[in-house]
Structures are given as structure tokens and as C-alpha cells.
Chains A and B, each alone.
Chain A
Amino acid sequence: MINAIARIGTTTISVTRTFRDTLSFAFTIILKMFNKNSYNSATRQVLIHQIYFTSIQILPLFIGISIIFGTLLMGIVLQIIKNLGLAEHMGRILMDLVVTELAPFITVLLIALRSSSAINAEIAVMKVNKELNTLDKFNIDAVDYLFLPRVINGVLSVVLLSALFSILVLTSGLLFSKLLFGLSLESYSNVLLSSANFYDIVISLVKCCTFGFFITLIPIRFGLRATNDLTSIPISVLNGMVDVFIAIILIEVLSLILIFI
């Protein structure tokens, strides 16, 4: 019994420490983000490369998934709306479901699967190869050069790809709204625009930024935890990705609570 309590206590302390360290690291990154001295030619070059790897390279896959998933989803949702006789709430349902909930969630899952794992492995490999030592010896701040561009890229990519997802899914909704409700392009656009709520868009934007921030920040932290052994790389990636997933769920839950308050 005492052992069990001790184990719970140890786990609680460990989780609290991890949480505190993550927030402290996040605070450092945010401070750097608003410091103009953090930006130079090298940082900008890394940022451009990161945006290319995260947002541009993924575009064909992302557009494909958005269209296939979006078309099927819109078909089902609009059919349900018709069956339940909720046609007058169609715009509101679509905006809440697609823009506020689905777009950020699907986008962050795709980016986390592809880029968070890559960032985690990259930082861990650099740690093992002593490449972070190289930056230190040449007075290059790893936060400015390595971490900040990756975090900014995470925020930008999730916001932009989430917006693209919303546009593609809502556009594919046009097809079904015409088939099921006989709505023209103009009527469909009017329904959506009149249902657009500034507060929802702000929530969606904040959610995307928070997602993007943490799905890049957490892998960086776990990458830095790698030791000098090559075997520590997969462990670091595994633990990092589990925490990224927990962070995604936590942010999603918190945003839902915020919406319902």
C-alpha cells in the first residue's frame, strides 16, 4: 500500500516537473520570438526550409486527404442535417464542425505524424553527434538558430493548412448542398457567411497557434533529452510523440471547455 502511494507520489512529482519544464521552455521561446535580435540571415534561411518541408512538401497528400475526407464527411453531415430537419442550422453546424473543430484537429494530427517525429529525431541525432556542442563553441544560440524557426514554422503551418482544409471541405460541401437541398453557390455562400462567428474564428485561430506551438516545442525538448548513446534516439522520439499526442488531446479538451463556458 505504502509502495503504491509512493509510486503515485513519484509519478505526480515527475509529471509536474515535466509540465513545469515544458512551460518554462515555452516561455523562453515566446520571449525569443518577440526579440528582434533573435532573427538573422541564418535563422530566416532555416525558417524558409522548415516551411518548405512542413507545409509545401505535404501539400499533395494534404489536399488529397482533405478532398476525400471532406467530401465523404460533408455528404454524411448534410444527409443527417436533412434527415433531422435541421436545414435552417446548416451553416452554423458546418462552421462549428469544420472550421472550429475538425480542421485544426486533422491538420495537427497530420503535421504531428510527419514533422514532430522528424524534429524530435533530428534534434536527438544532433545531440548524440555533439552538433549542439558545435553551435555552442561557435557562439550560435541553439534557441535562435534551431528551435525558434521550427516553432514559428509549426504555428504558421497549422494555421495555414487548417485554413486550407476548411476551404476545401466547405467547398466540397457545395456539391452535396446542391444535391440534397438544391442550394446554389450564392445561397450556400450566404448561409456559411451569415453563420460565421468572429468568436469561433478567434478560438479556431488560437487553437491552431497553440497546437502548432506545442507539437514542435515538445519534440525539441525530448530531442534534447537524448544522451550520448545512439540507442537513446528511438526512446526520445517515442516519449516525445506520446507527449505530443497527450498535448493535442489536452488542448482540444481545453478548447472545448472554453467554447462551452
Chain B
Amino acid sequence: MLFEDEVALDKGLNDFTLKHKKNLGLVSLDVPLISNLDVSVNIALIKQYHENLSADTAQRLVLSYLTKYSLADISHKRNPALTNRERFCAMLLRAAMVRDSIVVIDRPFTIIPDVQDDRFIYDALKVVDDSFKECHIFDYLWSKDRYRTIDF
């Protein structure tokens, strides 16, 4: 979903997140990774809290997904030590851990400002596409040209 300005985008995002609060998997700079937890614990937390999965099982699941991203080495890193792309993948993976997840990516290019177009986002989504039900991207109209692979 593309919006003309920040006010319209915030309103649209707020309405959408309220409507889908139960299954929401939000990827946004306003929903950061918890800084005193490792990446793997951040992601596993969702399964541990909502599905009471044991720490070991949840961590193994997370590691298997991180390996698909070729990011197994970041599992013990913390938020400040991540690159923008690593942070995006970790946040996306966390969002995908929600059961029947409706993944919402809020202004993705603010999380990965060094990325020129949506190919990276598309590839990252492909890796976890078995884990979420829907995915919605919220961005500004003026970013439309950066979306070449994903249709709106």
C-alpha cells in the first residue's frame, strides 16, 4: 500500500495493525529488536511466549531459518552489531514466527536505506514464504519506482 504522505501512511498503518493485531508480524524501525537479547533469542521469543515452545526447540527452528538466509553467524549477535540487511532479515524472520502471520513491512527502505530496489525484500520474503499468510508493504507513493518485482 502506497501513501501520499506520512500522516496518511501512519493512519493507514495504525488502522491496519489494529484490525489484525492478533496475527500481526510487524517489521518496522518503530518495533526494534530487543537490544539486550541475541538475534536468535529475539526471534525465538515469539514461539516461546505464544506457543510455549521450549527454548531449545525454538532456537533450533530459528537457526534453521537463519541458515536459509546464510546468516547463521548472526544468531548470537545483538541489534547494534547488525548490518542493515541482517537487521531486516532478523526482523522479518521474527514477524514470520507469529502463527498465521500477517506480515506488515513498514517503510522497508528506512530499515535498509542502502538497498536500491525491492529485489532484496522479495528474496528475503521468498525464504520465509511458508511461514506467513499474507504480506503487506506500507510505503510512500514516491518510492513506487523502487518496487519493480513486487506488485501493488
List chain A positions with a Cβ less than 8 A from chain B.
40-43, 45, 122, 125-126, 129-131, 133-135, 137-140, 145
CB <8 Å contact, B35 and A140: no
Closest to A43 in B: B49
Closest Cβ–Cβ distance, residue A99 to chain B (whole Å)? 36
Per-residue CB contact flags for chain B residues 21-43 toward chain A (1 = under 8 Å, else 0) read 11011100011111110000000
Binding site for A on B (CB under 8 A): 17, 21-22, 24-26, 30-36, 45-46, 48-50, 52-55, 58, 94, 98
Cα distance, A252 to B94, chains bound together (Å): 46
With A137-B31, A138-B45, A140-B50 known, 6 other A-B pairs at CB within 8 A are A41-B52, A45-B48, A131-B34, A135-B34, A138-B46, A138-B49
B26 to chain A, nearest CB (A): 5
Q: List the B residue with the shortest CB-CB distance to A41.
A: B48
A/B interface sample: 12 pairs, CB < 8 A: A41-B49, A41-B53, A42-B48, A125-B35, A126-B34, A130-B31, A131-B32, A134-B31, A138-B24, A139-B21, A140-B45, A145-B49
Chain B's nearest CB lies how many Å from the CB of A117?
15
Which secondary structure dominates chain A's binding surface? Answer: helix
Q: Are B17 and A137 in contact (CB under 8 A)?
A: yes
Q: List A contacts of B94 (CB < 8 A).
A: 138
In whole angstroms, how far apart are the Cα atoms of A163 and B101 in the complex?
A: 48
Structural contact, A134 and B53, CB atoms closer than 8 A: no
Contact A122 B36, beta carbon cutoff 8 Å: yes
Residue from B45, B48, B49 whose CB has the most chain A CB atoms within 10 Å: B49
Most chain B CB within 10 A, of A41, A137, A139, is at A41
In this complex, what residue of A is CB-closest to B29?
Answer: A130
- Evaluate contact between A130 and B30: CB separation under 8 angstroms: yes
The distance from the CB of A207 to the nearest CB of chain B, in whole angstroms, is 31
Distance to closest chain A CB from B53 (angstroms): 6
CB-nearest residue of chain B to A138: B46
CB distance from B2 to the nearest CB of A (A): 22
Asked whether B48 lies within 8 Å of A129 as measured between CB atoms, the reply is: no
Which residue of the partner chain, among A43, A130, A140, contacts B32 with CB atoms under 8 Å?
A130
B50–A139 CB distance below 8 A: yes
Residue ID in chain A nearest B26 by CB atoms: A137
Q: How far is the CB of A36 from chain B (nearest CB, A)?
A: 12
- A41 pairs with B55, CB closer than 8 A: yes
Chain B residues in 8 Å Cβ range of A45: 48, 55
Give 8 closest A-B pairs by Cβ, nearest first: A42-B48, A41-B48, A42-B49, A40-B52, A134-B31, A137-B31, A131-B34, A137-B26
